[in-house]
């Protein structure tokens, strides 16, 4: 509702705002599609594990979420949140 108040005031005084047009990245044709050499399917638990580090801006500091995922059932089996990048072990 507040946006309508602002809109009415701007119309009353003849004010206009400039809207910046967002620039889009130019995407071309795919040059090369690589073959999937990774077999990301596991037949037993803990056979294949993957890890990822996610950056989380939290106020003035940067936090890091590190996780380990089991590819057998896509379950997160370990994780750690901290202010420095560390490897976790289980």
pTM, entire model: 0.54
- Express as a percent the part of the chain with pLDDT over 90: 22
* Separation CA 34–CA 49 (nearest Å): 22
Average pLDDT taken over every residue of the chain? 83
Q: Residue 40: pLDDT above 90?
A: no
Between residues 41 and 27, the one the model is more confident about: 41
What confidence score (pLDDT) does residue 1 get? 62
Give 71: exposed, middle or buried? Use CB within 10 Å, 0-12, 13-18, 19+. middle
And the tokens for 52? Answer: 């990822």
* Separation CA 64–CA 59 (nearest Å): 13
* Separation CA 90–CA 66 (nearest Å): 12
């Amino acid at each position: 509702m507040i946006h309508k108040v602002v809109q009415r005031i701007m119309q009353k005084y003849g004010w206009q705002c400039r809207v910046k047009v967002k620039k889009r990245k130019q995407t071309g044709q795919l040059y090369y599609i690589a073959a999937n050499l990774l077999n990301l399917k596991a037949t037993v638990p803990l056979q294949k594990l993957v890890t990822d580090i996610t950056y989380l801006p939290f106020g003035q500091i940067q936090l890091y979420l590190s996780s380990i995922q089991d590819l057998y059932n896509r379950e997160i089996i370990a994780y750690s949140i901290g202010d420095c990048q560390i490897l976790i072990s289980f």
